[in-house]
A and B are shown apart, each in its own frame.
Chain A
Amino acid sequence: MEKIPILKMGQFLLVTIQVDLYDRLALNLESDLVQMVSTTEARGVLIDISAVSIVDSFMGRIIGNIASMSKIMDAVTVVVGMQPAVAITLIELGLPLSGVHTALNVEKGMELLKNKILVNGEVPDYDDDEQYDDLDSTQ
Protein backbone atom coordinates (compact mmCIF):
# COMPACT_ATOMS: atom_id res chain seq x y z
CA MET A 1 0.00 0.00 0.00
CA GLU A 2 1.30 3.41 -0.95
CA LYS A 3 1.80 5.92 1.81
CA ILE A 4 2.29 9.64 1.99
CA PRO A 5 5.43 10.37 4.06
CA ILE A 6 5.07 12.55 7.12
CA LEU A 7 8.20 14.40 8.22
CA LYS A 8 8.81 15.62 11.74
CA MET A 9 10.56 18.94 12.07
CA GLY A 10 10.96 19.98 15.68
CA GLN A 11 7.49 20.72 17.02
CA PHE A 12 5.92 20.47 13.60
CA LEU A 13 4.83 17.78 11.17
CA LEU A 14 5.36 18.37 7.48
CA VAL A 15 3.40 16.61 4.75
CA THR A 16 4.02 17.19 1.07
CA ILE A 17 1.40 15.68 -1.21
CA GLN A 18 3.08 14.95 -4.53
CA VAL A 19 0.58 12.61 -6.17
CA ASP A 20 -3.08 12.76 -7.07
CA LEU A 21 -4.86 11.16 -4.16
CA TYR A 22 -7.45 8.50 -4.50
CA ASP A 23 -9.83 8.10 -1.59
CA ARG A 24 -8.15 5.30 0.31
CA LEU A 25 -4.79 7.06 0.21
CA ALA A 26 -6.35 10.24 1.55
CA LEU A 27 -8.13 8.38 4.35
CA ASN A 28 -4.86 6.68 5.31
CA LEU A 29 -3.14 10.03 5.41
CA GLU A 30 -5.82 11.33 7.75
CA SER A 31 -5.38 8.52 10.27
CA ASP A 32 -1.58 8.41 9.97
CA LEU A 33 -1.35 12.11 10.56
CA VAL A 34 -3.59 12.09 13.62
CA GLN A 35 -1.59 9.20 15.01
CA MET A 36 1.63 11.12 14.44
CA VAL A 37 0.27 14.24 16.14
CA SER A 38 -0.51 12.14 19.14
CA THR A 39 2.79 10.22 19.35
CA THR A 40 5.08 13.18 18.67
CA GLU A 41 2.97 15.72 20.55
CA ALA A 42 3.38 18.01 17.58
CA ARG A 43 2.15 21.59 17.95
CA GLY A 44 1.64 22.24 14.27
CA VAL A 45 0.84 20.43 11.04
CA LEU A 46 1.87 21.83 7.70
CA ILE A 47 0.33 20.33 4.56
CA ASP A 48 1.93 21.37 1.28
CA ILE A 49 -0.50 20.88 -1.62
CA SER A 50 1.39 22.93 -4.22
CA ALA A 51 1.69 19.84 -6.45
CA VAL A 52 -1.99 18.93 -6.20
CA SER A 53 -4.00 19.86 -9.26
CA ILE A 54 -7.43 18.68 -8.07
CA VAL A 55 -9.13 19.08 -4.71
CA ASP A 56 -12.70 17.81 -4.79
CA SER A 57 -15.21 17.75 -1.94
CA PHE A 58 -13.79 14.50 -0.60
CA MET A 59 -10.23 15.81 -0.42
CA GLY A 60 -11.58 19.06 0.98
CA ARG A 61 -13.37 17.14 3.68
CA ILE A 62 -10.19 15.22 4.57
CA ILE A 63 -8.27 18.49 4.89
CA GLY A 64 -11.02 19.96 7.05
CA ASN A 65 -11.08 16.81 9.19
CA ILE A 66 -7.33 16.86 9.73
CA ALA A 67 -7.57 20.49 10.83
CA SER A 68 -10.42 19.86 13.25
CA MET A 69 -8.89 16.67 14.67
CA SER A 70 -5.50 18.32 15.18
CA LYS A 71 -7.18 21.26 16.81
CA ILE A 72 -8.73 19.20 19.57
CA MET A 73 -5.31 17.67 20.09
CA ASP A 74 -3.91 21.20 20.44
CA ALA A 75 -2.10 21.37 17.12
CA VAL A 76 -2.55 24.03 14.45
CA THR A 77 -2.97 22.98 10.81
CA VAL A 78 -1.79 25.16 7.96
CA VAL A 79 -2.41 24.29 4.31
CA VAL A 80 0.15 25.89 2.00
CA GLY A 81 0.71 26.39 -1.71
CA MET A 82 -2.79 25.92 -3.07
CA GLN A 83 -2.84 26.49 -6.84
CA PRO A 84 -4.98 29.42 -8.05
CA ALA A 85 -7.11 27.14 -10.24
CA VAL A 86 -7.74 24.84 -7.28
CA ALA A 87 -8.72 27.78 -5.05
CA ILE A 88 -11.17 29.13 -7.64
CA THR A 89 -12.67 25.68 -8.12
CA LEU A 90 -13.09 25.04 -4.39
CA ILE A 91 -14.93 28.33 -3.98
CA GLU A 92 -17.22 27.52 -6.91
CA LEU A 93 -17.79 24.06 -5.46
CA GLY A 94 -18.94 25.73 -2.23
CA LEU A 95 -16.08 24.63 -0.01
CA PRO A 96 -14.28 27.67 1.44
CA LEU A 97 -12.44 25.55 4.09
CA SER A 98 -13.12 28.30 6.59
CA GLY A 99 -11.67 26.42 9.59
CA VAL A 100 -8.31 25.87 7.95
CA HIS A 101 -5.35 28.26 8.11
CA THR A 102 -3.61 28.88 4.81
CA ALA A 103 -0.29 30.32 3.64
CA LEU A 104 1.33 30.97 0.29
CA ASN A 105 4.32 28.65 0.69
CA VAL A 106 6.11 26.41 3.16
CA GLU A 107 8.27 29.26 4.45
CA LYS A 108 5.29 31.51 5.21
CA GLY A 109 3.39 28.55 6.58
CA MET A 110 6.15 27.85 9.08
CA GLU A 111 6.18 31.50 10.09
CA LEU A 112 2.41 31.41 10.59
CA LEU A 113 2.64 28.25 12.71
CA LYS A 114 5.34 29.79 14.91
CA ASN A 115 3.25 32.92 15.39
CA LYS A 116 0.08 30.95 16.14
CA ILE A 117 1.79 28.84 18.75
CA LEU A 118 3.35 31.90 20.39
CA VAL A 119 0.06 33.79 20.39
CA ASN A 120 -1.68 30.74 21.85
CA GLY A 121 0.02 31.08 25.18
CA GLU A 122 3.71 30.69 25.72
CA VAL A 123 4.91 34.27 25.30
CA PRO A 124 1.71 36.32 25.28
CA ASP A 125 3.18 39.83 25.16
CA TYR A 126 5.81 38.94 22.57
CA ASP A 127 4.44 41.45 20.04
CA ASP A 128 4.65 44.33 22.44
CA ASP A 129 8.25 43.56 23.28
CA GLU A 130 9.16 43.59 19.68
CA GLN A 131 7.60 46.98 19.20
CA TYR A 132 9.63 48.43 22.01
CA ASP A 133 12.74 46.93 20.49
CA ASP A 134 11.94 48.63 17.22
CA LEU A 135 11.61 51.99 18.89
CA ASP A 136 14.93 51.58 20.63
CA SER A 137 16.76 50.77 17.47
CA THR A 138 15.36 53.71 15.52
CA GLN A 139 16.12 56.31 18.11
Chain B
Amino acid sequence: MKIEISKMLQKKKKQVLDLWMKNQLKDANLREDLMSNDELRVQSEELVDALLKKLTDENLADIESADFENVYEILSGISITRARQGFSPRETGTFVFSLKEALFETLQQELKGDPVALYDVTMKVNKLIDSFGIVTFETFIKGREEVILRQTDEITEISTPVIRVWDGILALPIIGTLDSARTQVVMESLLQEIVNTSSSIAILDISGVPAVDSLVAQHLIKTVSATRLMGAECIISGIRPEIAQTVVHLGIDLSNVITKSSLSSALKHAFSVLQLEVRKKQKENYSLKNM
Protein backbone atom coordinates (compact mmCIF):
# COMPACT_ATOMS: atom_id res chain seq x y z
CA MET B 1 0.00 0.00 0.00
CA LYS B 2 1.21 3.43 -0.90
CA ILE B 3 1.55 5.79 1.99
CA GLU B 4 0.54 9.38 1.44
CA ILE B 5 3.73 11.19 2.22
CA SER B 6 2.13 14.63 2.51
CA LYS B 7 -0.54 13.47 4.97
CA MET B 8 2.07 11.69 6.99
CA LEU B 9 4.29 14.78 7.12
CA GLN B 10 1.35 16.95 8.05
CA LYS B 11 0.65 14.67 10.99
CA LYS B 12 4.29 14.83 12.00
CA LYS B 13 4.46 18.59 11.73
CA LYS B 14 5.37 19.13 15.33
CA GLN B 15 8.16 16.61 15.11
CA VAL B 16 9.55 18.22 11.96
CA LEU B 17 9.51 21.61 13.57
CA ASP B 18 11.13 20.33 16.75
CA LEU B 19 13.84 18.56 14.82
CA TRP B 20 14.46 21.65 12.70
CA MET B 21 14.68 23.87 15.75
CA LYS B 22 17.03 21.37 17.41
CA ASN B 23 19.25 21.39 14.33
CA GLN B 24 19.31 25.14 14.22
CA LEU B 25 19.94 25.59 17.92
CA LYS B 26 22.80 23.14 18.09
CA ASP B 27 24.62 25.02 15.37
CA ALA B 28 27.53 26.81 16.98
CA ASN B 29 27.21 29.68 14.54
CA LEU B 30 23.65 30.56 15.52
CA ARG B 31 23.30 34.33 15.60
CA GLU B 32 21.53 34.82 18.89
CA ASP B 33 22.73 38.39 18.83
CA LEU B 34 20.64 39.15 15.75
CA MET B 35 17.55 37.10 16.52
CA SER B 36 16.24 35.54 19.74
CA ASN B 37 15.39 31.85 19.87
CA ASP B 38 11.72 32.65 20.26
CA GLU B 39 11.69 34.80 17.15
CA LEU B 40 13.52 32.07 15.29
CA ARG B 41 10.90 29.55 16.37
CA VAL B 42 8.05 31.79 15.21
CA GLN B 43 9.78 32.26 11.86
CA SER B 44 10.45 28.56 11.43
CA GLU B 45 6.94 27.60 12.44
CA GLU B 46 5.42 29.98 9.94
CA LEU B 47 7.42 28.42 7.14
CA VAL B 48 6.76 24.79 8.13
CA ASP B 49 3.07 25.60 8.51
CA ALA B 50 2.79 27.19 5.11
CA LEU B 51 4.75 24.40 3.44
CA LEU B 52 2.93 21.44 4.97
CA LYS B 53 -0.49 23.00 4.53
CA LYS B 54 -0.06 23.19 0.77
CA LEU B 55 1.96 20.02 0.31
CA THR B 56 0.29 17.17 -1.61
CA ASP B 57 1.85 14.09 -3.12
CA GLU B 58 1.35 15.60 -6.56
CA ASN B 59 2.99 18.96 -6.09
CA LEU B 60 5.87 17.49 -4.13
CA ALA B 61 7.52 16.70 -7.44
CA ASP B 62 6.59 20.01 -9.03
CA ILE B 63 8.69 22.80 -7.60
CA GLU B 64 7.02 25.38 -9.80
CA SER B 65 3.52 24.56 -8.61
CA ALA B 66 1.38 27.59 -7.86
CA ASP B 67 0.52 25.99 -4.53
CA PHE B 68 3.89 27.07 -3.19
CA GLU B 69 3.42 30.73 -4.00
CA ASN B 70 2.65 31.51 -0.39
CA VAL B 71 5.72 29.57 0.75
CA TYR B 72 7.95 31.48 -1.67
CA GLU B 73 6.47 34.72 -0.44
CA ILE B 74 7.22 33.87 3.18
CA LEU B 75 10.73 32.75 2.21
CA SER B 76 11.35 36.02 0.37
CA GLY B 77 10.10 37.98 3.33
CA ILE B 78 12.37 36.09 5.71
CA SER B 79 15.32 36.44 3.38
CA ILE B 80 14.92 40.19 2.89
CA THR B 81 14.51 40.90 6.60
CA ARG B 82 17.55 38.75 7.31
CA ALA B 83 19.60 40.61 4.71
CA ARG B 84 18.66 43.88 6.36
CA GLN B 85 19.37 42.55 9.84
CA GLY B 86 22.87 41.70 8.74
CA PHE B 87 22.78 37.92 8.48
CA SER B 88 25.41 36.49 6.18
CA PRO B 89 24.26 34.58 3.08
CA ARG B 90 25.66 31.40 4.62
CA GLU B 91 23.57 31.87 7.75
CA THR B 92 20.42 32.46 5.77
CA GLY B 93 21.22 29.50 3.53
CA THR B 94 21.84 27.23 6.49
CA PHE B 95 18.48 28.27 7.90
CA VAL B 96 16.66 26.88 4.86
CA PHE B 97 18.84 23.85 4.26
CA SER B 98 18.63 22.64 7.84
CA LEU B 99 14.92 22.11 7.22
CA LYS B 100 15.94 19.44 4.75
CA GLU B 101 17.69 17.44 7.46
CA ALA B 102 14.67 17.66 9.69
CA LEU B 103 12.42 16.42 6.91
CA PHE B 104 14.81 13.59 5.99
CA GLU B 105 15.06 12.43 9.57
CA THR B 106 11.29 12.30 9.90
CA LEU B 107 10.90 10.52 6.58
CA GLN B 108 13.56 8.03 7.52
CA GLN B 109 11.76 7.09 10.70
CA GLU B 110 8.44 6.69 8.93
CA LEU B 111 9.62 4.83 5.86
CA LYS B 112 12.12 2.54 7.52
CA GLY B 113 10.71 -0.54 5.83
CA ASP B 114 10.46 0.83 2.32
CA PRO B 115 13.85 1.98 1.00
CA VAL B 116 12.52 2.50 -2.55
CA ALA B 117 9.81 4.87 -1.43
CA LEU B 118 12.23 6.57 0.94
CA TYR B 119 14.71 7.14 -1.87
CA ASP B 120 12.02 8.49 -4.14
CA VAL B 121 10.59 10.94 -1.64
CA THR B 122 14.04 11.99 -0.46
CA MET B 123 14.95 12.99 -3.98
CA LYS B 124 11.78 15.02 -4.35
CA VAL B 125 12.14 16.77 -1.00
CA ASN B 126 15.76 17.44 -1.85
CA LYS B 127 14.78 19.16 -5.07
CA LEU B 128 12.03 21.16 -3.42
CA ILE B 129 14.18 22.48 -0.60
CA ASP B 130 17.00 23.27 -3.06
CA SER B 131 14.58 25.41 -4.98
CA PHE B 132 13.60 27.11 -1.75
CA GLY B 133 17.26 27.75 -1.11
CA ILE B 134 17.71 29.32 -4.53
CA VAL B 135 14.75 31.62 -3.98
CA THR B 136 16.22 32.60 -0.65
CA PHE B 137 19.51 33.54 -2.25
CA GLU B 138 17.86 35.45 -5.04
CA THR B 139 15.82 37.55 -2.66
CA PHE B 140 18.78 37.91 -0.33
CA ILE B 141 20.80 39.41 -3.16
CA LYS B 142 17.88 41.53 -4.26
CA GLY B 143 17.55 42.85 -0.71
CA ARG B 144 21.23 43.76 -0.71
CA GLU B 145 20.96 45.37 -4.14
CA GLU B 146 18.12 47.53 -2.94
CA VAL B 147 20.33 48.73 -0.13
CA ILE B 148 23.09 49.52 -2.63
CA LEU B 149 20.72 51.35 -4.96
CA ARG B 150 19.34 53.40 -2.11
CA GLN B 151 22.84 54.30 -1.01
CA THR B 152 23.81 55.26 -4.57
CA ASP B 153 20.85 57.61 -4.68
CA GLU B 154 21.80 59.04 -1.33
CA ILE B 155 25.42 59.55 -2.40
CA THR B 156 24.35 61.35 -5.58
CA GLU B 157 22.14 63.57 -3.54
CA ILE B 158 24.76 64.30 -0.91
CA SER B 159 27.44 64.89 -3.51
CA THR B 160 25.65 67.81 -5.15
CA PRO B 161 25.03 70.34 -2.42
CA VAL B 162 24.06 73.72 -3.84
CA ILE B 163 25.01 76.38 -1.33
CA ARG B 164 23.69 79.89 -1.25
CA VAL B 165 26.85 81.80 -0.38
CA TRP B 166 25.36 85.26 -0.81
CA ASP B 167 22.15 86.84 -1.85
CA GLY B 168 22.13 86.08 -5.58
CA ILE B 169 25.25 83.90 -5.55
CA LEU B 170 25.18 80.09 -5.49
CA ALA B 171 28.13 77.75 -5.11
CA LEU B 172 28.35 74.07 -5.97
CA PRO B 173 31.50 72.26 -4.88
CA ILE B 174 31.92 69.07 -6.90
CA ILE B 175 33.81 66.27 -5.19
CA GLY B 176 34.74 63.10 -7.06
CA THR B 177 34.67 62.06 -10.67
CA LEU B 178 32.27 63.71 -13.08
CA ASP B 179 30.55 61.43 -15.56
CA SER B 180 27.55 62.02 -17.79
CA ALA B 181 24.99 60.75 -15.29
CA ARG B 182 26.45 62.86 -12.52
CA THR B 183 26.76 65.97 -14.66
CA GLN B 184 23.10 65.70 -15.40
CA VAL B 185 22.29 65.59 -11.69
CA VAL B 186 24.69 68.48 -11.02
CA MET B 187 23.25 70.52 -13.86
CA GLU B 188 19.67 69.86 -12.85
CA SER B 189 20.09 70.72 -9.19
CA LEU B 190 22.14 73.82 -9.98
CA LEU B 191 19.67 75.16 -12.54
CA GLN B 192 16.69 74.38 -10.33
CA GLU B 193 18.32 76.18 -7.43
CA ILE B 194 19.01 79.17 -9.66
CA VAL B 195 15.28 79.33 -10.39
CA ASN B 196 14.31 78.82 -6.75
CA THR B 197 16.59 81.52 -5.38
CA SER B 198 16.62 83.67 -8.54
CA SER B 199 20.38 83.91 -8.22
CA SER B 200 22.23 85.52 -11.08
CA ILE B 201 25.64 83.96 -10.44
CA ALA B 202 26.61 80.33 -9.91
CA ILE B 203 30.08 79.15 -8.95
CA LEU B 204 31.05 75.60 -9.90
CA ASP B 205 34.04 74.62 -7.78
CA ILE B 206 35.99 71.68 -9.21
CA SER B 207 38.88 71.57 -6.76
CA GLY B 208 37.56 68.18 -5.60
CA VAL B 209 37.47 66.69 -9.08
CA PRO B 210 40.50 64.41 -9.44
CA ALA B 211 40.94 64.73 -13.19
CA VAL B 212 39.49 66.72 -16.04
CA ASP B 213 39.51 64.99 -19.40
CA SER B 214 37.86 66.25 -22.56
CA LEU B 215 34.58 64.57 -21.65
CA VAL B 216 34.44 66.20 -18.21
CA ALA B 217 35.38 69.53 -19.76
CA GLN B 218 32.58 69.15 -22.26
CA HIS B 219 30.16 68.49 -19.41
CA LEU B 220 31.38 71.61 -17.65
CA ILE B 221 31.00 73.73 -20.76
CA LYS B 222 27.47 72.39 -21.23
CA THR B 223 26.58 73.34 -17.66
CA VAL B 224 27.96 76.83 -18.20
CA SER B 225 26.02 77.28 -21.44
CA ALA B 226 22.77 76.02 -19.91
CA THR B 227 23.18 78.45 -17.01
CA ARG B 228 23.69 81.25 -19.49
CA LEU B 229 20.54 80.27 -21.40
CA MET B 230 18.56 80.66 -18.23
CA GLY B 231 19.93 84.13 -17.73
CA ALA B 232 22.53 83.53 -15.05
CA GLU B 233 26.29 83.52 -15.14
CA CYS B 234 28.42 80.50 -14.28
CA ILE B 235 31.98 80.71 -13.01
CA ILE B 236 34.21 77.67 -12.75
CA SER B 237 36.62 77.83 -9.85
CA GLY B 238 39.17 75.55 -8.26
CA ILE B 239 41.29 75.05 -11.37
CA ARG B 240 44.42 73.40 -10.01
CA PRO B 241 47.70 73.73 -11.95
CA GLU B 242 47.54 70.07 -13.07
CA ILE B 243 44.07 70.62 -14.41
CA ALA B 244 45.12 73.75 -16.27
CA GLN B 245 47.94 71.70 -17.81
CA THR B 246 45.73 68.84 -18.97
CA VAL B 247 43.09 71.21 -20.31
CA VAL B 248 45.62 72.98 -22.49
CA HIS B 249 47.39 69.78 -23.53
CA LEU B 250 44.08 68.27 -24.60
CA GLY B 251 43.31 71.38 -26.60
CA ILE B 252 40.07 72.12 -24.77
CA ASP B 253 38.77 75.60 -25.38
CA LEU B 254 37.60 77.19 -22.15
CA SER B 255 37.95 80.75 -23.43
CA ASN B 256 34.19 81.35 -23.33
CA VAL B 257 34.04 80.30 -19.70
CA ILE B 258 34.97 82.47 -16.74
CA THR B 259 37.50 80.44 -14.78
CA LYS B 260 39.13 81.27 -11.45
CA SER B 261 41.79 79.43 -9.54
CA SER B 262 40.02 79.51 -6.20
CA LEU B 263 36.54 79.78 -4.80
CA SER B 264 37.46 83.03 -3.07
CA SER B 265 38.59 84.72 -6.26
CA ALA B 266 35.41 83.52 -7.95
CA LEU B 267 33.44 85.05 -5.12
CA LYS B 268 35.37 88.28 -5.51
CA HIS B 269 34.50 88.32 -9.20
CA ALA B 270 30.84 87.65 -8.37
CA PHE B 271 30.85 90.57 -5.92
CA SER B 272 32.23 92.93 -8.52
CA VAL B 273 29.61 91.80 -11.05
CA LEU B 274 26.87 92.45 -8.52
CA GLN B 275 28.60 95.73 -7.61
CA LEU B 276 29.12 94.66 -4.03
CA GLU B 277 32.11 95.53 -1.90
CA VAL B 278 33.49 93.83 1.17
CA ARG B 279 35.83 95.84 3.32
CA LYS B 280 37.27 96.04 6.77
CA LYS B 281 35.50 98.18 9.32
CA GLN B 282 37.49 101.36 9.79
CA LYS B 283 37.91 101.91 13.49
CA GLU B 284 39.74 105.24 13.06
CA ASN B 285 36.75 106.84 11.45
CA TYR B 286 34.61 105.71 14.30
CA SER B 287 36.92 107.16 16.96
CA LEU B 288 37.31 110.38 15.01
CA LYS B 289 33.61 110.88 15.04
CA ASN B 290 33.52 110.31 18.76
CA MET B 291 36.08 112.98 19.50
Contact of A109 among B188, B229, B231 (CB under 8 A): B231
Q: Are B231 and A80 in contact (CB under 8 A)?
A: yes
**Majority SS of interface residues in chain B?**
helix
User: Within 8 Å of chain A (Cβ to Cβ): is B228?
Assistant: yes
A87-B226, A108-B200 known; A102-B188 Cβ under 8 A: no
Q: Are B200 and A104 in contact (CB under 8 A)?
A: yes
Contact of A96 among B199, B200, B225 (CB under 8 A): B225
Closest Cβ of chain B to A40, distance in Å, is 24
Contact of B194 among A88, A97, A104 (CB under 8 A): A104
> Which residues from B are CB-within-8-Å of A104?
194-195, 198-200, 230-232
The range of chain B's interface size is 10 to 19
- CB-CB contacts below 8 Å: A88-139 with B: 88, 90-92, 96-97, 102-105, 108-109
Query: What 0/1 readout, one digit per residue, does chain A (53-92) give for beta carbons within 8 Å of chain B?
Result: 0000000000000000000000000011111111110111
> Which residues from B are CB-within-8-Å of A81?
231
The answer for the CA separation of A32 and B199 in the assembled complex, in Å, is: 33
Closest Cβ of chain A to B21, distance in Å, is 58
Closest Cβ of chain B to A69, distance in Å, is 20
The range of chain A's interface size is 20 to 34
The answer for the CA separation of A109 and B232 in the assembled complex, in Å, is: 11
Contact of A84 among B191, B199, B225 (CB under 8 A): B191
The answer for the CA separation of A108 and B231 in the assembled complex, in Å, is: 9
Closest Cβ of chain A to B272, distance in Å, is 12
> Which residues from A are CB-within-8-Å of B225?
91, 96
Q: Are B226 and A102 in contact (CB under 8 A)?
A: no
Q: Are B229 and A102 in contact (CB under 8 A)?
A: yes
Closest Cβ of chain B to A89, distance in Å, is 9
A84-B191, A87-B191 known; A108-B229 Cβ under 8 A: no
- CB-CB contacts below 8 Å: B91-146 with A: none
Q: Are B195 and A84 in contact (CB under 8 A)?
A: yes
Which residue of B has the minimal Cβ distance to A84?
B191
Contact of B198 among A87, A92, A108 (CB under 8 A): A108
Q: Are A87 and B200 in contact (CB under 8 A)?
A: no
The answer for the CA separation of A43 and B198 in the assembled complex, in Å, is: 26
What residues of chain B have their CB less than 8 Å away from a CB belonging to chain A? 184, 187-188, 191-192, 194-195, 198-200, 222, 225-232
A-B contact pairs, 23 of them (CB 8 A): A81-B231, A83-B195, A84-B191, A84-B195, A84-B230, A85-B188, A87-B226, A87-B229, A88-B184, A88-B187, A88-B191, A90-B226, A91-B225, A91-B226, A91-B229, A96-B228, A97-B229, A102-B230, A102-B231, A104-B230, A104-B232, A108-B200, A108-B231
